[in-house]
Amino acid sequence: MATSPDPPSGPAADTAPSPGRFEEIYDAHVVPIYRFIYARVGNAPDAEDLTAQVFMRAVEQLDTTRDMGQIVSWLYRVSQNAIADYWRAFYRLPVIGADQMGAGWEPADTAMTASSAEQPSPTTGGERAKKQVDSLLRRLPANYRRVLELRFIQRLTVAETADQMGITRGNAKVLQYRALRKAALVGEAADG
C-alpha cells in the first residue's frame, strides 16, 4: 500500500478520500476562473461552457492532494487550453498558442500567471479593463474609436449608432467592420 496519494489520516478516509476538497477548490476559484475565461471569450454562455469544462476536468484529473498553489496553476493552465481550443475550433484559426491567448492589445502586465490570477480584486479588475479599452481605442482613428465606443461601451444598436454619427446603417456596419479589422491589426502589432 505504498500508493502515495493516500491521505495520512485514519480509517475514515477509506470511503471518502477527500470529502469536500473539490468543493473547497470550487468555491475558492469558480468566480476568478469564470472571469478569466469571460475576459477572453466575451460572452456569458460560452464562458459558462468553458468554466464547466475546466471544473469537470478537475473532477476527473486533478490531484487534490497537491497544495493550493499547484492546483491554482493547474486550473489556469487547463482554462488557457480550453480558451485556445475554443478559438481554434469555433473560428478555425490556424493555431493560437496558450501564450498568445489574451495577450493581444492588453498591456503586458495583465498577461495571466497563476500567482497574479490568484487574487483578482474587483476594483483592480475594473480599472485594468478600463485601461485595456482605452489603450486600444486611443490607437485608432477618431471615427473608428467613436463607432466602437458607441457599440461596445454605450451598447447602442447599429441603428442608434448610425443616428449618433449621422451616417446610414449600412455605413455604420462597414465602419465597425473596418474599425475592428484595424483594432485586430493594432493588437497584433503591439504583440510583436
Query: Taking Cα atoms as reference points, which of 50, 32, 20, 61 lies closest to residue 121?
Result: 32
Q: Are 105 and 190 in contact (CB under 8 A)?
A: yes
- Which three cell numbers, joined as nine digits, stand for 91? 473560428
**Nearest to another protein of 31, 68 (CB atom):** 31
Q: Where are the beta strands (DSSP E) in 44-183?
A: none
Q: Nearer to another protein by C-beta: 115 or 154?
A: 154
Closer to another protein at the Cβ: 81 or 118? 81
Choose among 49, 82, 50, 78: nearest CA to 62. 78
Asked whether 176 and 151 are in contact (CB, 8 A), the reply is yes
Cβ at position 115, least distance to another protein in Å: 21
Cβ contact 75:64 at 8 Å: no
- Of 68 and 93, the one with the shorter C-beta distance to another protein is 93
